[in-house]
Amino acid sequence: MRKPVVDYSKFRLSKIKEPQFKHLLYLLGWVGYFALYFLTENLIPYEKCYPVHCFLDDVIPFCEYFVIPYVGWYLLIVGSLIYFALYNPDNFKNMSKYIIVTQIVTMAIYIIFPNRQDLRPDVFVRDNVFTDVIKLLYSFDTNTNVCPSLHVAYSVGIASTWLREKSVSKWIKTIIVLFCFMVCISVAFVKQHSVVDIFAAIPVCILAEWITFWRKTNDRRMSNGTCISKDK
């Protein structure tokens, strides 16, 4: 078993600004997100939310089995953050930064353009454990503030971070990427999102990708180029 690169047994809140623990400050982004989410959910009337819909939503059938990757998404987030916190704090920061960017952008959209979906089935054709989970999901996860889809945006960010993780095999990366893909399409099959929400997440992901990874790479290349020029 690999040894964690950070000794969290020595962690105290008073030490959170120390270099070995400073990456944990990114968790504060979740506090801000949940605060904004609560405000948008409770202050914006349902009637003020624009219904999002396209013809593909009527073509894609409801399939309760897709609730497995949909709910598994929550475990994927937590599991990824724990792994990176233990073994690669840099990727913990990368994944957290990516998610925070998507949270800021999507929350701004939800406030400027309140939206909802009216795709949930009134009656379930089948009655099984998966439909029971979906009923529970519907009871606390509202059908407002859906476009762009955070399930999709987070999944792309998680997959992108894992693809840059050097400590795991290609097989593990492939499994994670495939699971993230299943999450992205599951949102339409469990009728939590319109297909529009999925595609609307793409520009959000591009922006988060640029801020988190591409800009850093370009800055590093420019820095290296400057150093080479000085050497000459």
Number of neighbouring beta carbons within 10 Å of residue 170: 8
Confidence category of residue 123, pLDDT binned at 50, 70, 90: very high
Residue-wise pLDDT for 29-61, tens only, equals 898 888 888 888 888 889 999 999 999 999 999
Mean confidence (pLDDT) of the chain? 91
Percentage of the residues of the chain whose pLDDT score is greater than 90: 79
Confidence category of residue 2, pLDDT binned at 50, 70, 90: confident
The two three-digit tokens of residue 29, written as one number: 């982004």
Residue-wise pLDDT for 77-102, tens only, equals 999 999 999 999 999 999 999 999 99
Q: Give the C-alpha separation, 166 to 58, whole Å.
A: 42
Contact 88, 5 (CB under 8 A): yes
Q: Where are the domains of the chain?
A: 22-219
Confidence category of residue 225, pLDDT binned at 50, 70, 90: low
- Identify the pLDDT of residue 38: 84
Cβ neighbours of residue 166 closer than 8 Å, sequence gap 6 or more: none
Is the confidence at residue 232, as pLDDT, over 60? Answer: no
- Identify the pLDDT of residue 229: 54
Residue 57, classed as helix, strand or coil, is helix
Q: At what angle do helices 89-112 and 195-209 cross, to 10 degrees?
A: 130
Q: Give the C-alpha separation, 132 to 74, whole Å.
A: 18
Residue-wise pLDDT for 201-216, tens only, equals 999 999 999 999 987 6
Residue-wise pLDDT for 158-174, tens only, equals 999 999 999 999 999 99
- Identify the pLDDT of residue 215: 74
